[in-house]
Structure 1
């Protein structure tokens, strides 16, 4: 059943998503302040008819409504550039995973663990018990928490898009080209995403399921993988 917290973002599970959420909240506060001030000015002028020389002819008001937008844009631009830098900040990854988009499923390869390759198809509704419909997959992408992860994505046929909202991640999977995502996961759990590019008739049926594990559990999974 829908609840009020569903009106906002998902709970962040990575530092990247935390930065995006903070920047969104900061920008929304500025937009709310602008909207309130403009609304109050319109009410003030409409009801009190104070269209005097200060509002129509004074040079001071010209300076004010020219300088204020410049200041507001700088106020938004500086944290925006900082957020973009942090999202694309290169680092030495602990693990590299390659995600290849197909019509209409994802396949994964672990570069650091030769032989670990698998496809992830959406689970049919008839096979579900209590899982999430249209988001469950037959194989999960297992990743360690508190580790630097690099995900390389490409497309095998048409353009897809690998996106996981809880991590604040989205990258196009373009045939013949490699795109890169750098991130880390803060907490264990199961996280879902979907292809965010209209890639064909079954576009909405190629979900992403990530199982975030403590490093020990992840290594046990990797060593036991057949």
Structure 2
């Protein structure tokens, strides 16, 4: 028996040491890569937007401690009951079947835990819902099986984004890279207007904390604000058909100058709104000028013609000549 106990202790110690070594060494072989999945990683992708920072806080600071405490509590109770109330240790079982105090506790405590979680959860939901002032709007349409992007404020017409073929994509980015990515400027609030043309899809990009359904006949919206330039990858996360796995989402975050150049290359303009406003003002001013000119012409036509100068008065009759003196 003694040898068996020592052997079990050695085995248990070896397992614990191995687990500890693996845990300590994990950061060395699973360094997270910004914007894409990391092989062997066990945590959420690093945050690249304010929403993802809040989501990571909710997960790491609120949910994980609560889940850990509940798990350890349940495990402890199971072990204690298995040891204390097995047939050998407790040959005469208790005769009671209810305990009011325990039943109240296991009813009230979970409710309080859920209420506490809900406070942080609602705060995060409101952050997703309350979009800040928008700098850029992108319309995203899910198709079987690709994505279409359109920039209405810059005049960039809808273009299709397909998955980069396997022979042209890096091995670790196959099914993540796209041939025509979405391009946005860094540090700007980007609003996504999301819909679908056929079946339900979903826009999911972990680094920005995005996951929004694309529903035919409906427009959902979400937002993000990229903190760093770079390339970020996501995928459709709603089962949408046989090629569901071939709908990657690639977002290139660039500087404002690079974004302006890209918009120009797509036939758009960074001043489209201003140009349209100026054109509308000019169009509104043109009829007013025509009306003013017509009114002036009508007034001139209605004015009486100038009268000729009155003829000169006839010369006064010559006075009779006085007779000459005799």
Task: Give the TM-score, by structure 1 length.
Answer: 0.87
Deviations 1:105-144 (A, max 9, x none): 1111101111343211111112235671111111111111
Select the structure that is richer in helix.
Answer: 2
| 2: CA distance, partners of 1:84 / 1:21 | 13
1:209 to 250, 261, 264: 250
The alpha-carbon deviation at position 190 of structure 1 amounts to 0.4
Inter-CA distance 5–23: structure 2 relative to 1 (3 Å threshold): farther
Residue 15 in structure 1 maps to residue 56 in structure 2: no
Inter-CA distance 197–130: structure 2 relative to 1 (3 Å threshold): closer
In the other structure, the counterpart of 2:64 is: 28
SS of residue paired to 1:126? coil
| 1: CA distance, partners of 2:75 / 2:215 | 45
Deviations 1:54-99 (A, max 9, x none): x977654444333322221122111111111111113321000001
SS of residue paired to 2:155? coil
Inter-CA distance 42–123: structure 2 relative to 1 (3 Å threshold): closer
**Structure 1 residues not aligned, in runs of 5+:** none
- In the TM superposition, 1:83-102 aligns within 5 A as 83-102=124-143
**Structure 2 residues not aligned, in runs of 5+:** 1-28, 31-38, 268-326
- In the TM superposition, 1:210-225 aligns within 5 A as 210-225=251-266
RMSD of aligned C-alpha atoms?
Answer: 2.6
Number of equivalent positions? 224
In the other structure, the counterpart of 1:43 is: 79
Select the structure that is richer in strand.
Answer: 1
Contact 2:156/2:263 (CA < 8 Å) preserved in 1? no
In the other structure, the counterpart of 2:180 is: 139
| 2: CA distance, partners of 1:129 / 1:28 | 35
The alpha-carbon deviation at position 223 of structure 1 amounts to 2.8
Inter-CA distance 57–181: structure 2 relative to 1 (3 Å threshold): closer
Inter-CA distance 208–44: structure 2 relative to 1 (3 Å threshold): same
Task: Give the TM-score, by structure 2 length.
Answer: 0.62
Residue 76 in structure 1 maps to residue 111 in structure 2: no
In the other structure, the counterpart of 2:214 is: 173
